[in-house]
Amino acid sequence: MSGDLRIRGFERKHPVHLLVNGKPVTAYEGETLHAALIAAGILSLKTSRVTQEPRGVFCGMGVCHECLVTINGVTGIRACMTLVQDGMKVETHEP
């Protein structure tokens, strides 16, 4: 099992609380959602269109659209282009 993936010495601001698939996840202001999800051990983010296989963060720069999640009810948002926000509700694997 992996330990804490947050790099030591990296200054962080306030903690923020997310709900990912109904479960609480703590992240820090300024973090990108895809990184915060990986730090929480959530690698599988969407289901591929045809073969229905799990997909996760790949390009990390807004190109590949493999990290699409639902945020506060809005589907198809790139986690890698989104900053975490307190109270954010995230759902993975939604059509």
Partner 1 sequence: MSLKTAAYQVIIIGAGLAGLSAAEMLSGLGAKVLLLDEGMQPGGQYLKRPLPLLRRLATIHDNDKMHKKGMELLDSLNGLELEIQACTQVLGLEPDSQGGGMVWGETKDGKLSAWRAPHIILAAGARERFIPFKGWTLPGVISTGAVQLMLKGSGILPADKVMVAGCGPLPLAVAGELVKAGARVPHVWDPTGFLQKLGTLRKGAIAWEKAAQAIKYQALVMLKGGRLRHRVAILEARGSGQLEEVVTVRINRSGKPKGGSERVIPARCLAVGHGFVPNIELAQQAGCELEYDADRGGWVVRVDAGLNTSLPGIYAAGEITGIAGAKISQNQGCRAAYAIVKKLELGKVLRASAYLDTLTMLRKDEEHLAVLINRLSIPPAGLWDLVPDDTIICRCEDITFGQVRPLLNSGVYDLSELKRSTRAGMGPCQGRTCGPILEALAQAASRGKEPPPPLPPRAPVKPFRLSALLDLETTGDKK
Question: How many beta carbons lie within 10 A of that of residue 95, not counting itself?
Answer: 8
State yes or no: residue 72 binds partner 1 (CB under 8 A). Answer: no
Q: Does the footprint of partner 1 cover residue 95 (CB under 8 A)?
A: no
Residue selected from 35, 91, 93, 94 as contacting partner 1 according to rule CB under 8 A: 35
Size of the site for partner 1 (CB under 8 A): 46
What tokens appear for 69 in the block? 């999640």
Hey, what are 86's tokens? 């307190």
CB of 86 to partner 1, least distance (A): 15
With b meaning 16 or more CB within 10 Å and e meaning fewer, what string describes 13-52?
A: eeebebebeeeebebbeebbbbbbbbbbebeebbeeeeee
- CB atoms < 10 A from the CB of 85, how many? 14
Contact status: 56 vs partner 1 (CB under 8 A) = yes
- The verdict on 22 binding partner 1 (CB under 8 A) reads no
Residues that bind partner 1 (CB under 8 A): 2-3, 5-13, 29-32, 34-36, 38-39, 43-45, 48-51, 53-66, 68, 76, 80-81, 83
